[in-house]
Structure 1
């Protein structure tokens, strides 16, 4: 069996999707069946962080795959023809960059989360079933939303361009 260049992308896409599914699907399923107080603060923060990283890496891996395939199927006389030879060398750094970027962007996401089982009395909070978050002012939430969605928008733009 000979490894193709896209096999590395597919492996990371599988890992990222499984991570996102398990870290979001299992806790939500348990919360839907009435088990809302099964996670500690650390568990809530870790699962939310892993879900966000998995989701972001999934988008980044699909973006890398689409860009690689666009380069691969481009005609020999196009401006991307010179990238056909170099593209396989850039797959590993692109996937590695996706993981690092998502971990750095989402590192502050768990700071605001607490478990619903914690006995902190917070009157103004958002409930997520098994986790909750303190509400902030609209400006802070908007800036936080822009920061979290910037890598996804960048990847979607690259996919459209490819």
Structure 2
């Protein structure tokens, strides 16, 4: 494949991608700094806050690496070498894998927090603070090893052309790997993604069930004409349900876009730009969803902190 991708003429799409990345980086930075400030004011941060701050950090790094990749795809820089190609692509794919892990962990933690005393999940309420770091280390170690293939298969595009090369960016290419190794890698990735999607669906269904039961109990005790205000816990649950639903939709849309456009517009620059826009949508919208119901952020901006 000797084709060099020329994206410079697609000005509108290029500007949309950079605008999306800049907005996402700014929002995730604000969310991360807010939680860092909160941690400094609290001696024992909650596991839910730790998961949100980690998600903001993951998306921040993801969008920064995406910005670096975009500068090369659109031909703004020409200083890439083999080490830079390996590290940037590896970190980008690692952050994408950790994004689904952390989103799933966030939904499970909220389901545990919302569970009543008679539930089987109630026993995990006090243990979640201890189990969270273990899960976090496990996710990192597994995905560090799983995405290690990019350190082997990704490299700077050589001057000599080759039909076996697959261009990743303007300066980076992916070398062919054995069928067995590729099959094992794709199987592990798919198993992980499907497992987390199913777990998110179960935890989301469990939270919806608890919220509906709480609403029925309130209407039974009080007049149905009253419109009770949702508790902070319920608002957090609704936010995480919205976030989880948006993630699943964007994940499925990303899969459909990748499979359909990959067949219809193979090696078309617009195809790759659409994939970039869809792939970065969750990381960009996520902090706004989390900040929309975060009243503590107003206190943080006014230099007040609850201890």
TM-score class, shorter = 0.7 to 0.9
For normalisation by structure 2, the TM-score amounts to: 0.48
Q: Is the 8 A contact 1:44 1:113 kept in 2?
A: yes
Larger Rg: 1 or 2?
Answer: 2
Q: Is the 8 A contact 1:60 1:98 kept in 2?
A: yes
Question: C-alpha separation between the residues in 1 aligned to 2:145 and 2:88?
Answer: 16
**What does residue 54 of structure 2 align with?**
12
**What does residue 48 of structure 1 align with?**
89
State the 1:152 CA deviation.
2.4
Deviation sequence 1:48-102 (CA, Å, 0-9, x none)? 1111111111211111111110011012211111111211211111112111111
State the 1:36 CA deviation.
6.3
- Work out the number of aligned pairs and report it: 160
**What does residue 69 of structure 1 align with?**
110
Question: C-alpha separation between the residues in 2 aligned to 1:51 and 1:9?
Answer: 19
Q: Is the 8 A contact 1:122 1:134 kept in 2?
A: no
Displaced runs of 4 or more, over 4 A? 136-140
Question: C-alpha separation between the residues in 1 aligned to 2:131 and 2:181?
Answer: 36
Distance 1:30 1:132, change over 3 A: closer
For normalisation by structure 1, the TM-score amounts to: 0.85
State the 1:134 CA deviation.
2.5
Give the SS at the match of 2:174: strand
Q: Is the 8 A contact 1:45 1:114 kept in 2?
A: yes
State the 1:139 CA deviation.
5.8
CA RMSD between the two structures: 2.1
**What does residue 169 of structure 2 align with?**
129
